[in-house]
């Protein structure tokens, strides 16, 4: 790919926008039926893959390298690519080795054992907010729910959760000139986990950090692994839960049908995972290690390719009426969306995210049948200049609870890992 300016190629990322729908630019690009060039700024270009078939290929074909994209001299600017050496920026066999250190702790079986604790924490957080009129289900619910679950799993003291929320926010910034802030946040979070891992090595507890501290691995790799788990496991789930609740509470008929129906909620969660466009960027870039033909387009060795997950999840070739919410879409067929990616980088915490989303939704619908948005969805404010899109706040009138869980249950969540 040449680096001269091509006026016909759109600038990427697309302009910030509100709501859960992907930018129309993705649909425009998908009409080509093949990857299209986009301009990243600073003389950098990439191919944007938008169809389900192409996105899956980029995620699964080893010729598309994350490590090469993150480690090159002209890597995408801060916010568009994970740091070199992170689990999110490795290829097999390094990626396989590092992921293997924690894969067992995130197995579907182990995550299912945590479900009662996640449900308990969700009910407790809502009980603590029941007197608020309205309750903010971002700051008062979705954020502390996800932070509490992943924090307890790792072994991060709850008193530090607000600190790592601030670090994660800086980590994910895409604001112009944010590179120094991102660097500072990475340094502070790395120092924090380095100290905590050292503490666990001296005095192990029943948590994931203690498990990592006992491994025969480079301490710098362990720090990067812990950072990746924390940031990926907190921001995505909390923002998705808030967006999902906004959509569900905007449709009283649907909430009535789902109330008391765990199976129906599970199906709804899968459809929401497909339909909600969470990232302001379609996906982390790969760099081709050799020439590849993708849907008839020759991509030269060394080119960047961005697989747009949010565009693939709205591909009409994969999903009939993809822009409509159909909560029965996956009632009789396995979910085929790529919200969690595909291939070696399939989301490590997918099972946990599904549980958090399902229990987070059920706690509201089942225990607060009169819950309603206090502000129309169209008037809600959305975050800007972040890799993960989400609501600034979600004001909700909860109404009376059908049961009275103790607010104290929201403060306990002894999730453990080997």
| 3-class DSSP string for 230-283 | HHHHHHHHHHHHHHHHHHHHCCHHHHHHHCCCHHHHHHHHHHHHHHCCCECCCC
Query: Which residue has 């982390």 as its token pair?
Result: 284
Q: Which pLDDT value is given to residue 382?
A: 94
Q: Which pLDDT value is given to residue 164?
A: 77
Q: Which pLDDT value is given to residue 418?
A: 39
Which residues pair with residue 218 across a beta bridge? Answer: none
Q: What is the pLDDT of residues 89-144, one digit of tens each?
A: 999 999 999 999 999 999 989 999 999 999 999 999 999 998 899 999 999 999 99
Q: Report the CATH architecture of 1-82+281-312.
A: 2-Layer Sandwich (3.30)
Q: What is the pLDDT of residues 54-75, one digit of tens each?
A: 999 999 999 999 999 986 655 5
Q: Which pLDDT value is given to residue 29?
A: 94
| DSSP structure class, residue 87 | G
User: Which residues, 6 or more positions from 45, have their beta carbon under 8 angstroms from its beta carbon?
Assistant: 1, 2, 3, 9, 37, 38, 39, 303, 304
Prediction pTM value: 0.91
Where the chain has pLDDT below 50, the residues are 1-7, 78, 405-418
Q: Which pLDDT value is given to residue 409?
A: 44
CA 103 to chain CA mean position, Å: 18
Q: What is the pLDDT of residues 228-273, one digit of tens each?
A: 898 887 888 999 999 999 999 999 999 999 999 999 999 999 999 9
Q: Which pLDDT value is given to residue 403?
A: 65
- Residue 81 CA to residue 300 CA, distance in Å, equals 20
CATH class label, 92-277+340-411: mainly alpha
Pairing of strands 64-65, 135-136: unpaired
Residues of the chain with CATH 1.10.630.10: 92-277+340-411
């Amino acid at each position: 790919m040449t680096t001269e300016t091509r006026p016909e190629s759109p600038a990427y990322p697309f302009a910030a926008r509100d709501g859960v729908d992907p930018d129309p630019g993705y649909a425009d690009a998908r009409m080509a039926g093949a990857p299209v060039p986009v301009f990243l700024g600073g003389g950098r270009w990439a191919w944007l893959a938008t169809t389900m078939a192409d996105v899956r290929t980029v995620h699964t074909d080893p010729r598309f390298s994350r490590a090469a994209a993150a480690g090159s001299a002209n890597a995408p600017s801060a916010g568009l690519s994970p740091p070199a050496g992170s689990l999110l920026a490795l290829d097999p066999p390094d990626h396989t080795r590092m992921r293997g250190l924690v894969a067992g702790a995130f197995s579907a079986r182990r995550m299912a054992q945590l479900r009662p604790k996640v449900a308990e924490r969700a009910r407790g957080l809502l009980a603590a907010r029941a007197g608020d009129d309205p309750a903010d289900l971002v700051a008062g619910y979705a954020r502390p729910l996800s932070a509490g679950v992943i924090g307890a799993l790792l072994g991060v003291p709850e008193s530090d959760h607000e600190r790592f929320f601030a670090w994660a926010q800086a980590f994910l910034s895409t604001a112009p000139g944010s590179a120094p802030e991102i660097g500072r946040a990475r340094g502070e979070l790395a120092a924090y986990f380095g100290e905590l891992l050292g503490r666990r090595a001296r005095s192990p507890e029943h948590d994931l950090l203690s498990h990592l501290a006992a491994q025969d691995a480079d301490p710098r790799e362990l720090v990067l692994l812990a950072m990746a788990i924390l940031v990926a496991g907190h921001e995505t789930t909390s923002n998705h839960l808030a967006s999902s609740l906004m959509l569900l509470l905007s449709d009283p008929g649907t909430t009535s049908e789902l109330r008391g129906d765990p199976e129906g909620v599970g199906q709804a969660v899968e459809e929401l995972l497909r339909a909600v466009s969470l990232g302001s960027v379609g996906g982390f870039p790969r760099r081709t290690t050799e020439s590849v033909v993708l849907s008839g387009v020759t991509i030269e060795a060394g080119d960047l390719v961005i697989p747009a997950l949010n565009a693939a999840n709205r591909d009409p070739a994969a999903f009939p009426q993809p822009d409509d919410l159909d909560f029965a879409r996956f009632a009789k067929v396995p979910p085929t969306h790529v919200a969690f990616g595909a291939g070696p980088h399939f989301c490590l915490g997918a099972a946990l995210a599904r549980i958090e989303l399902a229990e987070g939704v059920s706690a509201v619908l089942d225990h607060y049948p009169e819950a309603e948005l206090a502000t129309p969805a169209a008037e809600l404010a959305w975050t800007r200049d972040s890799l993960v899109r989400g609501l600034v706040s979600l004001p909700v009138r909860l109404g009376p609870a059908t049961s009275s869980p103790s607010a104290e249950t929201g403060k306990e969540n002894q999730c453990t890992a080997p």
